[in-house]
Amino acid sequence: MSELRFTVDHEWLRQDADGLVTVGITAYAQEALGDVVFVQLPEVQAYAVGEEVAVLESVKAASNIAMPLDGEVVEVNAELEASPELVNQDPLGQGWFFRFRPADASAVAALLDQAAYERLLNANADA
Partner 1 sequence: MTTETLAKTPLHALHLELGARMVPFAGYDMPVQYPLGVMKEHLHSREAAGLFDVSHMGQIILRGANAAKALESLVPVDIIDLPVGLQRYAMFTDANGGILDDLMVANLGNDTLFLVVNAACKQQDLMHLQEHIASQCHIESCFDRALLALQGPKAVEVLARLAPQVAKMTFMQFAPVRLLGVDCYVSRSGYTGEDGFEISVPAEHAEALARSLLAEPEVQPIGLGARDSLRLEAGLCLYGHDMSTSTTPIEASLLWAISKARRADGARAGGFPGAERIFAQQRDGVASKRVGLLPQERVPVREGAEIVDADGKVIGSVCSGGFGPSLGAPVAMGYVQSAHIALDTPVWAMVRGKRVAMKVAKTPFVPQRYYRG
Question: Could you tell me which of 50, 51, 69 has the C-alpha nearest to residue 108?
Answer: 69
Q: Kindly state whether residue 27 participates in binding partner 1, applying the rule CB under 8 A.
A: no
Residues 87-126 that bind partner 1 (CB under 8 A): none
Query: In this structure, what is the dihedral angle of CA atoms 86, 88, 94, 100, given to the nearest 10 degrees?
Result: 110
- Applying CB under 8 A, which of residues 81, 89, 103, 104 lies at the interface with partner 1? 81
Q: Kindly state whether residue 50 participates in binding partner 1, applying the rule CB under 8 A.
A: no
How far, in Å, CA of 115 to CA of 122, rounded?
Answer: 11
Give the DSSP H or E segment for 82.
helix 79-82
Which residue number, 3 or 60, has a Cβ lying nearer to partner 1?
A: 60
Which residue number, 79 or 104, has a Cβ lying nearer to partner 1?
A: 79
Name the residues that contact partner 1, by CB under 8 A. Answer: 34-35, 37-38, 40, 55, 57-62, 81, 84
